[in-house]
Each structure stands twice: as C-alpha cells, then as structure tokens.
Chains A and B, each alone.
Chain A
Amino acid sequence: MPEIYSPSSEHEVADFIKNCNSQEIPIEITGHNSKPIGRLIQCSKSLNLKNLSGIIEYFPEELYIKVKAGTPLALIEAELDKKNQELSFEPSDMGFLYNGKSNKGSVGGAVACNLSGSRRFRAGALRDHILGFRGINGKGEIVKSGGTVVKNVTGYDVSKLITGSYGTLVALTEIVLKVQPKNEESQTLLVNNINLKKALNIFSKSMQTSVEISGACFYPAKMSKFFKLNDLDTTTSITAIRLEGPKISVVERVNTLKKLFDEYKKTISVLENYQSRIFWQNTTDLQFFNNSPNVVVKIILPPVNTDQFINKFENEELKYVVDWAGNLIWAEIPENDSVLLRQLRTEVIKLDGHMTVIKAPNHVRIKEDFLTTVDENIKVLSLKIKESFDPKKILNPGKMYSGI
C-alpha cells in the first residue's frame, strides 16, 4: 500500500510534489476514490486531494463557480440547485457502475476523466465547460490558465489540455466551471420495439429539424428491463428522445416530433417531467451496468458507423446501450473474454472511432490497453507534452499509456 498524504492547502501540495520530484518518487493522485479508472499503476506515494475542498466563489449571474479540486461534485450540484442552476454537461455518477451505489466523487476527478452525461452532444462535454484552473505540475510549480469568463484567448487553452489528462500533467488545486440555468421542463418521447438502425434514423431526422433535442439513446430489449418507471414499457427495445426548455415549448416540440414519426404512432409514448428526469439520470449514471463484475467499455464512433459496428457483434455476448444520438456506445463483455475485447477494439479503429476501458477487474487492467491511440506520432507528441509538465514523469506515471 502506498503512503498516503492528504494536504489541505495548495502550497502543501506544491511542497510535496517538489520533494517527490527531487527524489524521483512516483505519485498516484486520488480524490474520493470513486473511479478506479485508467491503467493500473503502482506508486510508493499517494497524493489524496479530498481535503482540498470547498467553494471559493459562486456568482450565479456570472454563470461560473470556482471551487477547490477535492470538493464533492454532489456538494457543488446542491449549491447550484439552490439558484436553479446546474452543470449542463450532466456529470455522471460513476459510483453505481463501480460500487453499486451513488458516489459522484470530486470535481477534480470529474475534470481529470472528462466524463459527460447524456446531454453531451447538445451541451458539450465537461471540457467545453471548464473556464480555468490552478494546479501543480511535476516540478512542484503552481501553474494556472484561463479565468472566469467564457470569451478568452489569452495564451494557450491549457484548461482543455488538463481536462481528461487523468492527473498525468498536474495535480489540480482549483477549478472554474461554467454553470447554466436549469431547464424548466423535461419530457421524453419514447418509441418502443424498433431496431437500432431505425432508432439512429430517428435521432438523425430529429436533429435535422429545429426541435433541439437534448438526449437521444437506445436500449435494446435485453437492456431495457432494468428500468422501474410506471410509464415505461420495458418489454421491448426503447428509443428515447429528450426535449427540454420552457414547458410550452417542450410540449410543442414533442408534438412536432410525434407528427414527424407518425409511422410509429402505435408504439410512441411520452414520459412526463418527473419520470423523464429519472430516465435520463439513470442513463447518464450507467445504472444499466450497476456494479458490473465484467469489463465495461466506452466506444465513440461517427454516428453513421454505429449500426454497422453493433451488427458485427450482435451474436456475441455483448450488452450495450447507445447514447449521445448514436455517437456513444456503452458496452459490457465477460471479464475473461479478452478475444472479444480485442475484436471490439480492432473494429472500432476500422470505423474511425476509439474505445476506452472504463471498468475492468485488475487482472484485465494489467494486461489490456486502457486507450486505443494507434498513431505513434500522437504518442510521441503526448510524451513530449507530459514531459513539458512533468519531466521526471512522477505524476500518475503510466495512467494513460505505458510511459506517459
């Protein structure tokens, strides 16, 4: 077990890293331990940032919140809720997947993993909502970038580089996130018992109208059963489209789509506000893979390739849900089926996508790649970027790629 250090101030973090850097001691950075994600690494020291917690400033009318990196995401969301605001990229609660119960973890962890929920294709990813940060690089220096405003081209956008870097560039200490007003109403148009191809066609057609959908997912029949919602038929496949905004507008847009998809009128239904919100919360939180003992992967593809990909594996032991209007597939495969895992990866690459292993037992994490990057030039550049922040490679070494 690594020796755990839990500082409560930025300069303590800086001193600790500076010290480790001078002795070339690798450090694993942790927060609330809600997401055992990335390659399995072993470090003699662990830097836990959960005590670096608290809201520094929140100005609802300025649409931003500045927080310390170890602040629980749930606390931030509760604070925003008081002012009827939210993080519109819908951060996922990965606690259900990893542990079978809610644990949203820290905001620093969310930024490090750049995980975004079902509204992502409409509202952008977490990386589109980070306005600035402070953190400590591998030399123990405080680095900062960005600010609290949305329009800013002063220097490189290092905030985006940090987002999704899995703690390999800096230990985050402060984060500024853009916040947005909550939607007054949420409704979900459901079409039951159609196949994925038709569902994707519905997504595509909807997005070619002005109705502004903010959720579009597909559950095959074998996956829809986990839902426990009164107004939801879970006996067949579910194709769901979310509409949000002022109530009158939502109702109007639901009706527009109903007309547009008249051919499915026998299987069309609508989830009203309350159940609609639960439906998307469950989807964003991956509750369909609650506490999965298997391997769970996140696959990103150009949406027109999604059907072809799924068709190829239809007869395999693959459970999946499609989200982000066809851009994202969450898939689960048996933990010992490394052949299938590699087949998935090969096919994803062929179809211009990539695959990230989100959850896997340790024996799989040790031998399987976490990411898919195949372009050696990108790996070389990534290594140089890593070294520009952390020349001795002591921050989460090997978390993303071997050697980075």
Chain B
Amino acid sequence: MSTLVMPQIDQSVLNDREKIVRDLKRFTNPINIISDPEGITPYETDALSAYKQKPMVVVLPENTTEVSNILKYCHENNIKIVPRGSGTGLSGGALPLADCVLLGLSKFNKILEIDFENRCVVTQPGVTNLSLTKAVEHNGFYYAPDPSSQIACSIGGNIAENSGGVHSLKYGTTTNNVLGVEIVLMDGTVMKFGGKKLESEGYDLLGLITGSEGLLGVLTEVTVKILKKPQSVKALLLGFQSVEDSGQCVSDIISGGIIPAGMEIMDKPLIKATDDYAKAGYPKDVEAILIVELDGTESEVNILIKRVEEIAKKNKSTYLRISKNDEERLRFWLGRKAAFPAIGDMSPDYLCMDGTIPRKKLAEVLKEITKLSQKHGLRVANCFHAGDGNLHPLIMFDSNIKSELKKAEKFGADILKYCVKVGGVLTGEHGVGIEKRDLMCEMFNDEDIQQQLNIKQAFDEKSLLNPGKVYPILHRCAEGGKMHVHKGEAKFKDIPRF
C-alpha cells in the first residue's frame, strides 16, 4: 500500500468520542449508531480495498431530518463527515477518516414514487441502480445509465461519481438522466435542486453536485428520468488484425453518422484471457475485437447493421458475426463482462485504470502502454469503451514480490499522464477520490484547483464534508494508488466490473 497523506486528525474530537456517540443517539434510533470495533470494521474501506481506515463512529440515519440534525451537530462541533452509499466505489471516495462520523445511507432504500406520466422515478439514494430499472420494466421502461456494478451500487453513489456504463455515448451519463435531488448541506440546510420538471432556473446546482464525489452535500432523495426500452437491439462482433484498424472502424462508424448504443474494443491479451475464462467463443486469430451494439426500431437496426458491416469490411475486418437473437447478443457481451475476473484468474493481483482519451488516439495510447509495460516489466491487458473513449488498462502484478505494487502504481500513473497528454482526462467514471487525487495537477493548475476549492467553500466553509478527497492536500503531484485486486479478492468480487 502506498503512503497516503490525509487531513490531520483532530485529537480534540477523538478525545470527545464517547460524548459524540452519546449525542448522536439523540438524533436517530440508538441502534443506528455503530461504535464497537467489530461493527465498524465493514466500513473501513470501499472497493479500493488497498486503503483502510476505521472511522470514529458509523451512523445510519433513516430520514432527511435525522441527516440534517446530524450534519448540523457535526458542523457546530467541527466533526468531519464521510458519506457512503453502497461502498462499491473504485477510487476510495468513501474511505473513512480516523476522526470522522461515517454517514451510511443504506437505510434510504425505498423507491418513493413511480410516475409514468411524467416519466420519472422518485427514490431514496440508497436504492441500487438496477432496482430502478426492475421497478419500471413491467411497463417497458428503464433507467439508462448502467455502470457495471449496477446490481450493488446505489443511485446516490452514481450521482456522486456521475457513473456511466457502456451506453453513455448515446444515452449520456448520470448527469444527463437525473432530474432532481434533495440535498443536505454540511450545516444541516435542506434544499431541493430540480424536480419532476425538465430543468431549473438559476445556477445549475444539480449539474454541479453530480460528480462532486460527496464533497458538497449529502443526498436524501433523487428524481431520475426513465426511458422506454428500444424496440430492437442487435450487436456485431468484429475482429481485426490490428488495433489501428478497429479504432479506425469506430471513427468511421461515427463519421458515417451512426451513434451506436455501445461500442467496446478488447486487445489480444484480453481476448485470450476472457476466452480461456468464459469460453465466449471469440476469434483467436485477431489482434482486436470490436463489439458494436445498435438499437432502435427493427428496420432501423437492420439498416444500421448493414452500414456498420460495410464500414467494418472497408477497415479490413477479418471476422464478422451478427447476433441472431438476444441470447447471442448477450453472449458477445459475456466475454467482455468477464474481463476483470479473467485477468484475476491470470494474475495474483491487478490494478484497473480509468482514463478517457480521444477515440482517434487509441492506437497511439495502446502502443505507449505496450512500451510502458516493457519498461516496468509488468503485463497489461486493455478494454476500451470505444464509444465514449473510456480506457480500462488492467495491470497485472504479484504483491508477494517486493516492490511490484509500487511498480504497478508507477505504471498506472504513467498511463494516466499519457492519457492527459493526448488530450484525455484522468478518470471517466471511477472518480478521483483518493486514488487519483495527487495526479490532479496533471490536468489542472493551481488557479483551476483553487477555483474548485472556492466552490467547495461556498457549500462547506469549514471543509468538514469528505475532506482529503479529489483535491491534492499538499498541492503537489505524486503517484496515487489504483484499484488493487489481490488473489481475485477484490472487494465485492461478485459484482461485474467492466
């Protein structure tokens, strides 16, 4: 584990621990307060499990008033708060602090209203992403953003991280699909941003808090829009003799005026790994595969499939299969979705990176990653949300070999720096958290960061809400840690990750 500088511990708060625990019992049912060491342990980390820290106390409030009273009390008494949804985040956004109250939203687990007429769902933030779709699919509706951890991640956490999924190019990320929130600020003020209407006036506070990683307020209610499921969905599985050809094919599809629902590229090491693991039936004699998913009306999808087929041929595809039914389409995805566990099978440990790059830079970035792989002496496999440019290199290493984790982290940081160099960004969907915090100055200068810290001040002038996350504490660039998986023992290893 790398050394991580976190905000200074407030000893006076820790000295008052017993009194604070007692006081908190005034604001919620005492059974919602967890202060014994054993009870606290499950909250010591999120899915970035290389980093652990037990909080001072865990509180699981049940309603907005309780959240408001707890925050107000903590604000008045200078006690730090770390909010937490399902704890599936990959960047350490919910990592506790030794002197914090960890505020878990797990009891906010009810869908409050399904409103088909206004095409929205009002829900508590602890409800899982997939439950939203489950709640409306009987009427043919769904909630569009589909992060890979959707069976477990909460909608509140999705808003904190602005989660995406494989369909972001066509359907947007969380920010394009959330209509309103009820939010509690650090001083206990309760506010509503947005609602069942399409937009709000004044500053776009809803847009600002989406993706703010729990630094600006605590969500207690969420309104999301729901969409009608497309009539038809089909996919093509394409193979190429070079990554360049697959990347060019993606560019040509988009230049040809087609916006597929999803596009995914896997490189040769990953194809081999997933095929050995999931027996997905991918072609083995290709350097890259590309999955293209198209949706719309039946005839529209058929036309688009034909066009994509032509574009693929022009780009020298050597393998082409079109899904005949939904079962086959899902099989195309099966291997892709098995990417992470497959790598876990091949290597005792791996780190997952999450940069976004301009699509046309894919081949260049992959070449650089191969070079870096040789330089650092570690294997790597790559999957790429080609539609939206989000790249997930999986760096393989063995933590039992001294210095390999450090080497892997250095390799990861080098990849992210290169992503920024070619015009991309540090993180597409996992968030900055603590993981990429110290790389922020690769993208922003002091003035940019200061402006963002000033915005934070407007919401939380004492900087008590989730401090130490997203923005560098020491204003210097260092290599951060990454999602670290040891012996396939990733936190929530049953949750799909892609």
A residues touching B (Cβ–Cβ < 8 Å)? 59-63, 83-84, 114, 120-121, 124-125, 127-128, 137, 141-145, 147-158, 160-161, 163-165, 169, 180-182, 184, 204, 207-212, 245-246, 248-249, 252-253, 300-304, 324, 327-328, 352-354, 356, 371-373, 375, 377-378, 381-382, 384-385, 387-389, 400-401
Q: Contact: A149 with B195, CB < 8 Å?
A: no
Q: Contact: B459 with A381, CB < 8 Å?
A: yes
Q: B8 to chain A: closest CB distance in Å? A: 23
Q: A42 to chain B: closest CB distance in Å? A: 22
Residue of B nearest to A183 (CB): B257
Binary interface encoding of chain B residues 419-449 relative to chain A, with 1 for a CB under 8 A from any of its CBs, else 0: 0000111111111100010001001100111
Q: B119 to chain A: closest CB distance in Å? A: 6
User: Given B258, B357, B432, B452, which contacts A149 in the complex, CB threshold below 8 Å?
Assistant: B357
- The answer to whether the Cβ of B153 comes within 8 Å of any Cβ in the partner chain is no
Q: Select the residue from B230, B299, B385, B457 with max chain A CB neighbours within 10 A.
A: B299
Q: Contact: B447 with A141, CB < 8 Å?
A: yes
Complex contacts, B118 vs chain A, CB 8 Å: 302-304
Complex contacts, A204 vs chain B, CB 8 Å: 117
**A315 CA to B66 CA, complexed, in Å:** 47
- The answer to whether the Cβ of B492 comes within 8 Å of any Cβ in the partner chain is no
- The answer to whether the Cβ of B191 comes within 8 Å of any Cβ in the partner chain is yes
- The answer to whether the Cβ of B207 comes within 8 Å of any Cβ in the partner chain is yes
**A184 CA to B296 CA, complexed, in Å:** 15
Complex contacts, A327 vs chain B, CB 8 Å: 197-198
User: Given B211, B423, B455, which contacts A385 in the complex, CB threshold below 8 Å?
Assistant: B455
Q: Contact: A124 with B172, CB < 8 Å?
A: yes
Residue of A nearest to B191 (CB): A377
- The answer to whether the Cβ of B45 comes within 8 Å of any Cβ in the partner chain is no
User: Given A137, A153, A246, which contacts B432 in the complex, CB threshold below 8 Å?
Assistant: A153
Q: B364 to chain A: closest CB distance in Å? A: 14
New contact pairs (7) apart from A156-B212, A354-B201, A381-B459, CB-CB < 8 Å: A150-B389, A153-B213, A169-B203, A181-B254, A248-B300, A373-B202, A388-B454
A-B contact count (CB 8 A): 247
Complex contacts, A249 vs chain B, CB 8 Å: 296-297, 299-300, 303
User: Given A182, A303, A377, A400, which contacts B257 in the complex, CB threshold below 8 Å?
Assistant: A182
**A208 CA to B213 CA, complexed, in Å:** 34
Complex contacts, A248 vs chain B, CB 8 Å: 299-300, 303
Known contacts A61-B251, A302-B195, A382-B202, A149 near B429 by CB under 8 Å: no
**A198 CA to B386 CA, complexed, in Å:** 43
Complex contacts, B252 vs chain A, CB 8 Å: 61
- The answer to whether the Cβ of B192 comes within 8 Å of any Cβ in the partner chain is yes
Known contacts A147-B423, A328-B198, A154 near B432 by CB under 8 Å: yes
Q: A126 to chain B: closest CB distance in Å? A: 10
Q: Contact: A377 with B189, CB < 8 Å?
A: yes
**A387 CA to B201 CA, complexed, in Å:** 19
Q: Contact: A145 with B428, CB < 8 Å?
A: no
